[in-house]
Structure 1
Amino acid sequence: MTRFKTEDIPFSVSVIDMDWHVTDIPERYGSGWTGYTWNRDLFPDPRGFLQWLKDDDRMVTLNLHPADGVRGFEEAYEAMAVAMGVDPESDVRIPFDFSDRTFIENYFTKLHHPHEADGVDFWWIDWQQGANSKMKGLDPLWMLNHYHALDIARDGNRPLIFSRYAGPGSHRYPVGFSGDTIISWASLQFQPYFTATASNIGYGWWSHDIGGHQRGEKDDELSTRWLQYGVFSPIMRLHSTMSIFNGKEPWRYSTDAANVMKKYLRLRHQLVPYIYTMNARNHFDGLPLVSPMYYEHPEDDQAYNVPNQFYFGTELIVAPMVTPMHRKLHMTAATAWLPEGEWFDFFNGHRYRGGKQIRLFRYLEDQGVLAKAGAIVPLGRHLEHSNALHNPDDLEVVVFPGASNRFTLFEDDSTGIAHRDGVNVETTFALDWEARELTIAAPTGHRDLLPENRSITLILRGVREGYVQRDGESVTGVYDHATQSLRVELGEVTDTITLSLQVEMSTN
């Protein structure tokens, strides 16, 4: 964690796998797979450790494998035994039984609430699915998901849990986990299709092991491409088996690969305002962040012929690079279908005409991300050596020319459930391309949720050199030829403003 911060790589959640608890236990107790007692050889001060992570703006989740119940070596055994009517001196295993109301209640109050009081934010429920239950037909993973979601929300928190896939319908509760992924190009090629089509059963908050979990071999290019795709996944989660060869830390790879990884991990953090707005849309309207192309173009046969291509929210489409590069060209390619209209490379502003299939060729540092004409993408400004995820003091709003469009940024307190009752704030950006005007509306709703002083930077991408006028006066901007972008610092914006965009689309 310290190295990530030193390397200026932001992370918002620390996922601590099963070695947080004691795993080397006396043989008479069986496997160390299940545990609730901190391993103090690795974590001598658990509460201090959790607080240290949280002081650095990281949420924390711990891994659970509850199947073996509660055994005599656990610190919580005595309290659990008394609550369950078992003699604490007997050393008898208290079986895991989620068909027993008394066990369920004590499972939370004796085993989990003390850890939450120390700083655990939510739980990762792992490898518990199946038919091993005292009640016929009861899948314990479903029950765990249900009651963990209810319990974590008991004090007005959001019912956030992280859990393995338990079958269709199980997306009701958790951030989903696909299970351990094989490290291979074939596995990477499958992930975009698999993740996008998970939306067909409503599973929008789907995550997989970015970079792969097991087997395979160390491959700088594969790991970089997987991470780049992961930035445009619903959940950006690096994961691997415990091996010096499989670790996903960028500094384990070549300098070129590491620099690209760092760049994209920073981008993911910057994308949070956009992703948060799209996840609010998912929450209120049931429209997932990632969806197959045929969601927006159901009558066009071409939309069904690009299974690895997907919409990332309302403004972007992604055709990820999932094959090895040509060793002489040092590039790889992906086939992309562009719907009718104008499209722009998200990163460099290169313009494409739609209504056809094209081949996108990209170097290692580039990914196939396209913005529709008129796209409006709000970003947070990168804060060096920071994991902060508060509503940003500085917004960078990337706008692409060519069509009129509106985008409404959604923000709330990011922790509780008051958003369900309308406690939020919205800021609308409206582009009238025919008039060459961009209106930034004054925020509406609970403006106290916003920073006291918020500055906005406008980035017009895919345009020729030009200028922006505000109230009839030109605002100084800086043009970057490499990205075909005009960057204009607007400063603090509190009331509605309309900007005159004295620019034209790029000619490429």
Structure 2
Amino acid sequence: MALPTLPTRPVADPAAVVQGDRYRITVLTEGLLRLEHSPDGTFEDRPSTFALHRQQPVPEFRVVDQGTHLEVVTRRMRLTYDKGPFTTSGLSVAVLGAVTTWHSVWRYGQDDDGRNLGGTARTLDEADGAVPLEPGVVGRNGYAVIDDSSSLLLTDDGWVAPRDDGRTDLYVFAYGHDHAEAVRALYAVSGAQPVLPRWALGNWWSRYHRYAADEYLALLTRFRAAGLPFSVAVLDMDWHVTDVDPAISSGWTGYSWDREVFPDPRAFLAEVHRRGLRVTLNVHPADGVGPHEDAYVAMCAALGLDPTDRDPVAFDVTDEAFLTAYLDVLHRGLEDDGVDFWWIDWQQGSHSRVAGIDPLWMLNHFHFLDNARGGRRPLTFSRYAGPGSHRYPVGFSGDAVVSWASLAFQPHFTAAAANIGYGWWSHDVGGHMFGAKDDELATRWVQLGVFSPILRLHSSNNPFLTKEPWSFGPEHEAAQTAALRLRHRLVPYLHTMNHRAAREGVPLVTPMYHRWPRHPEAYEVPGQVAFGSQLLVAPVTGPRDRESATAAVRAWLPDGVWVDVLTGLVYDGGRELVLHRDLTSVPVLAPAGALVPLDAADVPADDPVEPDALEVLVVVGADGGLTLVEDDGTGDGLDEARVVRTPLTWDQAAGVLTVGPAAGATGVLPAVRTWTATFVSVAGGVAPVATIEGGAVEPGVVRTADGHLRVTVADVPVGAVLRVGLGEAPELRPNDVAGRLHRLLDAAQVGFELKRRVLEVLTSDRPLHVRLAHLAALDVPASLRAAVEEVVLARASA
């Protein structure tokens, strides 16, 4: 069977090329140059592991040949080059229109003074806090470089070839502070992120533990009884035989089911599928295929080896015949049993017997392409292997230490990965190993997981290191249960952003400076992220203090009005602030005009299919729009004939939410749906009305205890237009300052008299500055004082 290939357009349009005897300059986009130098005058046009699509629309540029040097100028940059071997003095690119001017010139071979904003790292194995990040394509100086000089080349037959030594091949990104556009240029040349299967966006259950089939199924039954949805079942290495003669194998590598614990693997996998979950198995391929393996004889036959010799079949990813058999023989039978995709747990470094061939990249590339056979939407689960790895999601970030330091680093790590286009990290939620039991740490990690690309609970092989929510105290079990349910409720929004990531080049999780690059404050909150187009999240990564019973997180809100959709608290933006949250919540902020579609079920199903009932969170105060994207789950997700789009529009002046009509492959949706419009923290005095295709219907109307207004309309045909109106120009309601202060103070671990005095002072009718001055005179612990001030100062009208 031939190896699968990627579509490529590797040869640039000649009109984009400026070439000399030993140099070649390709203007790929107005902000991206390919710079090559070759001592023998030969240049490389084959696709590399990074660059698949050098054939791009030719941007406007001009060439000025000054004799001793030449200049190439676009709207974004000016290259100056002396036509010789690349040197610091002879080759430079000036960023035009950059915020920083005297720092905004890239020179070949010169350090960027640490101003690159970072990309990601191969792994978080054994990380206990921050780790160094490889460079991304964005920087504070306005430029960044990818050195592609030694990456692998892809050949027409689907195989790979190493580079010739001595040639320099650079990609210079000069987008100033237009960071999001630099990432789009990366995708244009390297290939887009694929559309993930919808089910990958739900909760994943994983644990390094020698499960038996009945034990695993009993666990899934208990999860369902507890209202804990999971869409992916992960089996770590103990699915296969591990008790092996050390002369044959370490036991880490294996491809044969351990029949002692999985006597009927096919029946087990079928039952997991029947419950609505997909299955991935862990594989450590480094030891090759021993004579004890079920597929040993077939592997020997495929490779022309004599199985009677009983010699292990060596793992050799540089051998095309081996890799073909590895996929077609070794894995195919297991996939026929019901394995949906593979967890490739390669930890043996980046070297092989052929210089330049990284086994991790090879495994990621070929497993991903192989998983797409038969029209399936492909998925792999593996570590990062350098620029271009975004094409092979999902990323496995490795075995982080259980600690607050690890948790604190992961939001930054996840967001910065967008700087190299790597949008689908999956972390070991709760940490993998070492550390100590800390219920609060585990809960905050699960809450981070909700607002991460992938939520996967995992832990090491330790009987005390468990992640089932009932393993923790009652308040933590409740908070984790709520978080896991919320993750599945978010799938309609997540899948819409999944399509956006593939089509528009915007990862699900991005740093704040991608959206607000000219605001210095955006660079000062590395753990705060944009979560899709509608939400900002400031994960809580530190413990609660005793006095206020809250945890604090530093944040920045851009201009405008923002509402925390989990608490309903309304904030004026345009400022830095410290947010405080009890164990039940993290700051999830939406601007006026935001629309967030959710599964309406309080306890969603395990398989997060297109739901019969949807809820749309609406933040009034400005116009808003979002198109809900769904699909039939087959192919690559980019075929419009398989996609259905439902427009959601909020008209602030008219006070009307319009839903639909759905267009496209509507056959994949339920024929009718129930829609709930939840107007977050909307003021009273509104009179909800609803129409379907212009005809009035009687909606269900509920005002919730937290101040939201829920308007529900049942039996809306999929192709109809639903309108829900509140009346002209509805407003957000004033914050219930007194009520919020009472709840906050009630939970605080301080004296009762102090609580009473603080409440009286802050709810008096005196001017705000007088109240705050009085508060300062009281002996209030600093953390509690900051928490109550947040509530009082959330809106200027307080």
User: Same fold by TM (over 0.5)?
Assistant: yes
Q: Indicate yes or no: 2:565 matched with 1:346.
A: yes
Matching residue's letter, 2:709: L
More deviation in 455-464 or 488-497? 488-497
Distance 2:545 2:353 in 1: 56
Match of 2:732 in 1: 505
CA shift digits 1:9-45 (9 cap, x unpaired): 0000001111110011123213001100001112111
Matching residue's letter, 1:497: L
In 1, are the aligned partners of 2:286 and 2:348 still within 8 Å (CA)?
Answer: no
Per the TM alignment, residue 100 of structure 1 is displaced from its structure 2 partner at its CA by 1.5
Matches within 5 A, 1:352-371: 352-371=571-590
SS at match of 1:237: strand
Distance 1:226 1:405 in 2: 31
More deviation in 195-204 or 161-170? 161-170
Matches within 5 A, 1:284-323: 284-323=503-542
SS at match of 1:379: strand
SS at match of 1:109: helix
More deviation in 337-346 or 105-114? 105-114
Distance 2:604 2:542 in 1: 33
Question: C-alpha root-mean-square deviation of aligned residues, in Å?
Answer: 1.5
Match of 1:467 in 2: 687
In 2, are the aligned partners of 1:341 and 1:354 still within 8 Å (CA)?
Answer: yes
Distance 1:381 1:507 in 2: 27
In 1, are the aligned partners of 2:485 and 2:602 still within 8 Å (CA)?
Answer: no
Distance 1:104 1:216 in 2: 39
- Unaligned 5+ segments in structure 1 are none
Q: Indicate yes or no: 2:453 matched with 1:234.
A: yes
Distance 1:366 1:275, change over 3 A: same
In 2, are the aligned partners of 1:343 and 1:354 still within 8 Å (CA)?
Answer: yes
Matches within 5 A, 1:51-450: 51-128=270-347, 130-382=349-601, 384=603, 386-417=605-636, 419-450=638-669
Distance 2:698 2:240 in 1: 61
Distance 1:385 1:321, change over 3 A: closer
Match of 2:710 among 480, 487, 492: 487
Distance 1:236 1:424 in 2: 25
Per the TM alignment, residue 150 of structure 1 is displaced from its structure 2 partner at its CA by 1.3
Matching residue's letter, 2:703: Y
Per the TM alignment, residue 493 of structure 1 is displaced from its structure 2 partner at its CA by 2.1
**Higher Cα Rg, which structure:** 2
In 2, are the aligned partners of 1:467 and 1:475 still within 8 Å (CA)?
Answer: no
SS at match of 1:28: coil
In 1, are the aligned partners of 2:485 and 2:603 still within 8 Å (CA)?
Answer: no
Match of 1:7 in 2: 226
In 2, are the aligned partners of 1:7 and 1:385 still within 8 Å (CA)?
Answer: no
CA shift digits 1:414-456 (9 cap, x unpaired): 2433543442000011101122111112101111011122111
Distance 1:333 1:71, change over 3 A: same
Distance 2:533 2:356 in 1: 40
Distance 1:133 1:9 in 2: 43
Identical columns (%): 50
Count of residues in Structure 1 that have an aligned counterpart in Structure 2: 507
Matching residue's letter, 1:65: H
Per the TM alignment, residue 351 of structure 1 is displaced from its structure 2 partner at its CA by 0.7
Distance 2:385 2:636 in 1: 26
SS at match of 2:639: helix
Match of 2:32 in 1: none
Match of 1:21 among 237, 240, 243: 240
SS at match of 2:713: strand
Distance 2:275 2:370 in 1: 26
More deviation in 423-432 or 158-167? 158-167
More deviation in 425-434 or 21-30? 21-30
Matching residue's letter, 1:194: F
Per the TM alignment, residue 460 of structure 1 is displaced from its structure 2 partner at its CA by 0.8
SS at match of 2:598: strand
Matching residue's letter, 2:538: A
Per the TM alignment, residue 476 of structure 1 is displaced from its structure 2 partner at its CA by 3.8
In 1, are the aligned partners of 2:675 and 2:713 still within 8 Å (CA)?
Answer: yes
Distance 1:157 1:389 in 2: 17
Match of 1:40 in 2: 259
Distance 1:312 1:44 in 2: 43
Distance 1:366 1:476, change over 3 A: same
Distance 1:295 1:351 in 2: 24
SS at match of 1:25: coil
Matching residue's letter, 2:550: M
More deviation in 244-253 or 416-425? 416-425
Distance 1:118 1:373, change over 3 A: same
Question: After TM superposition, what 4+ stretches of structure 1 lie above 6 angstroms from structure 2?
Answer: none
Per the TM alignment, residue 385 of structure 1 is displaced from its structure 2 partner at its CA by 7.3
Distance 2:544 2:660 in 1: 45
Distance 2:554 2:523 in 1: 13
Match of 1:49 in 2: 268
SS at match of 1:225: helix
Distance 1:357 1:222, change over 3 A: same
Distance 1:38 1:491 in 2: 48
In 2, are the aligned partners of 1:345 and 1:370 still within 8 Å (CA)?
Answer: yes
More deviation in 472-481 or 302-311? 472-481
Match of 2:760 in 1: none
CA shift digits 1:353-392 (9 cap, x unpaired): 0001122111111111111111100001226473121111
More deviation in 212-221 or 244-253? 244-253
CA shift digits 1:272-301 (9 cap, x unpaired): 000000011001111010001111111111
SS at match of 1:155: helix
Distance 1:330 1:232 in 2: 23
CA shift digits 1:160-202 (9 cap, x unpaired): 1010122333222121111101111111111111100110000
CA shift digits 1:319-369 (9 cap, x unpaired): 111111011221111111110001001113211000011221111111111
Matching residue's letter, 1:112: H
SS at match of 2:272: helix
CA shift digits 1:41-86 (9 cap, x unpaired): 1211111111111000101000111111111000111111111111
Distance 1:469 1:438 in 2: 10
SS at match of 1:467: coil
Match of 1:455 in 2: 674
SS at match of 1:61: strand
More deviation in 45-54 or 124-133? 124-133
Matching residue's letter, 1:337: W
In 2, are the aligned partners of 1:378 and 1:398 still within 8 Å (CA)?
Answer: yes
In 1, are the aligned partners of 2:489 and 2:604 still within 8 Å (CA)?
Answer: no
Distance 2:290 2:697 in 1: 73
In 1, are the aligned partners of 2:249 and 2:290 still within 8 Å (CA)?
Answer: no
Matching residue's letter, 1:41: E
In 2, are the aligned partners of 1:128 and 1:140 still within 8 Å (CA)?
Answer: no
In 2, are the aligned partners of 1:470 and 1:500 still within 8 Å (CA)?
Answer: yes
CA shift digits 1:294-317 (9 cap, x unpaired): 111111111111111010001100
